């Protein structure tokens, strides 16, 4: 029987790349997201390559929707908590509280809602692996990113606490914390301003969604006695939140 992987935020970027990579590794995929057309496109691509993919269109910010869609699922072998976003880039006294709500509700509460349902099934079975997609912002706060950084600090702390909570159950927990990854991330952060988003990566060869997917696939295939607690990935030109070498 194929192992099953549940991936949130699978309509673009890291989530989509992870679904494709894990399908290629032999997993049956359950892909979730808010954009039905993109989920359908992903399903067709995976199935055209000989894989298996189910799609669930819902918003992780709604506990009711999470429970309704995920509680009927059979046991998952791998959960990739990828759904997340940054919104806005202003000083704390100028931030838009709607952006704050979107980040906290998705990055923190959404992750918790999904994990609560799936982790209970994994713990009851005595096996499973949860991979949380964090960020270097989870340990390195930066100017204009207070709430986003706070949400990723929460993911970092939750990942460490989950590891402790699930230790006796046989469920693994891994946090992967990327630096610059060129996806829709910056375009979402700047509310569709493509020019401003492109400027984030100017002079840098950033990571791609496929790079993070490769890391997820690697930690997922490790033997049962081995767990990667925390993995930090950055472009070669980036050494931290404040250290980036931009080629002219």
**Distance between CA atoms of 181 and 231, rounded to whole angstroms?**
15
* Cβ-based neighbour number of residue 93 at 10 Å: 5
Taking each helix axis from N to C terminus, what angle separates 13-24 and 209-220, rounded to the nearest 10 degrees? 40
Going by C-beta distance under 8 Å and a sequence separation of 6 or more, which residues neighbour residue 165? none
Q: By three-state DSSP, how is residue 205 classified?
A: coil
- Cβ atoms of 129 and 171 within 8 Å: the answer is yes
**Distance between CA atoms of 180 and 7, rounded to whole angstroms?**
21
Catalytic residue selected from 27, 148, 201, 242: 148
**Distance between CA atoms of 30 and 8, rounded to whole angstroms?**
9
Active-site residue flag, 142: no
- Cβ atoms of 123 and 168 within 8 Å: the answer is no
Q: Which CB contacts under 8 angstroms, 24+ apart, belong to 91-95?
A: 91/143, 91/144, 92/146, 92/147, 95/146, 95/147
**Distance between CA atoms of 144 and 164, rounded to whole angstroms?**
32
The catalytic site residues sit at 148
């Amino acid at each position: 029987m194929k192992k099953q992987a549940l991936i949130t935020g699978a309509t673009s970027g890291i989530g989509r790349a992870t679904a494709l990579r894990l399908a290629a590794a032999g997993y049956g995929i359950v892909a979730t997201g808010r954009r039905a057309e993109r989920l359908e496109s992903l399903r067709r691509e995976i199935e055209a390559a000989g894989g298996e993919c189910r799609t669930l269109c819902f918003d992780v910010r709604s506990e009711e929707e999470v429970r309704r869609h995920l509680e009927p699922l059979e046991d998952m072998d791998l959960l990739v908590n990828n759904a997340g976003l940054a919104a806005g880039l202003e000083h704390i006294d100028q931030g838009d509280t709607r952006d704050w709500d979107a980040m906290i509700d998705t990055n923190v509460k959404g992750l918790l809602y999904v994990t609560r349902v799936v982790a209970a099934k994994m713990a009851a079975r005595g096996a499973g692996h949860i991979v949380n997609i964090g960020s270097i912002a989870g340990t390195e706060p930066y100017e204009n990113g207070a709430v986003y950084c706070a949400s990723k600090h929460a993911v970092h702390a939750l990942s460490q606490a989950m590891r402790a909570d699930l230790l006796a159950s046989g469920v693994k927990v891994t946090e992967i914390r990327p630096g610059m990854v060129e996806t829709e991330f910056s375009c979402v952060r700047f509310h569709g301003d493509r020019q401003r988003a492109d400027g984030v990566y100017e002079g840098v060869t950033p990571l791609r969604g496929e790079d993070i997917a490769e890391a997820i696939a690697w930690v997922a295939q490790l033997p049962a006695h081995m767990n990667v607690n925390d993995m930090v990935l950055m472009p070669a030109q980036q050494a931290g939140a404040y250290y980036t070498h931009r080629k002219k």
